[in-house]
Copies of this chain bind each other. A is one copy, B any other.
Amino acid sequence: MAGISLSKARVMIRKALEKGREAGMKPLSAVVLDAGGHVIAFERSDGAAPGRFAIAQGKAYGCVMLGMAGKAQMARAEAQAYFMAAVNGVYGGQVVPVPGGVLVRDKKGAILGAVGVTGDTSDNDAIAALAGIEAAGLVGEA
């Protein structure tokens, strides 16, 4: 079963963190989850707040579990806040429905997993995540 290899995950994380440094963002943290929502790799930049793993994971987890990228999740949360609250109930409070959660697809559109980036504004987090995914030769949906 072809998923995201560790070596692709490393590329995505390195490039996402690098993009943040080059663009003058605050120190970023990035996670890569597989198609089942399980962690393949994570890195937290020096200087980032200690709790960044959970935020990064929460952004990516909602993408995988709902098959919906961070921007679409945020739109739904803004239109129907109680729905996203309920979604978090059934998923054990593990969903952070904002940009920076980015679906990872292969060239044919199949979902392989998700990247979650956190540390700067949500929109900048998404930009960094997309840079990482592109560097790995995959397709991101923010």
Contacts and interface: CB of A to CB of B under 8 A. Distances in A.
* Prevailing SS type, chain A contact patch: mixed
A19 to B, nearest CB: 16
A87 B55 contact: yes
Given A39-B44, A50-B64, A64-B50, A93 B82 contact: no
A24 interface: no
Interface residues of A, number: 58
Given A1-B2, A49-B64, A85 B83 contact: no
A86 B95 contact: yes
Given A37-B50, A87-B96, 18 more contacts: A36-B36, A37-B38, A39-B42, A41-B41, A42-B42, A49-B65, A51-B64, A51-B65, A58-B86, A58-B89, A83-B96, A84-B86, A85-B85, A86-B95, A86-B96, A89-B92, A89-B93, A89-B95
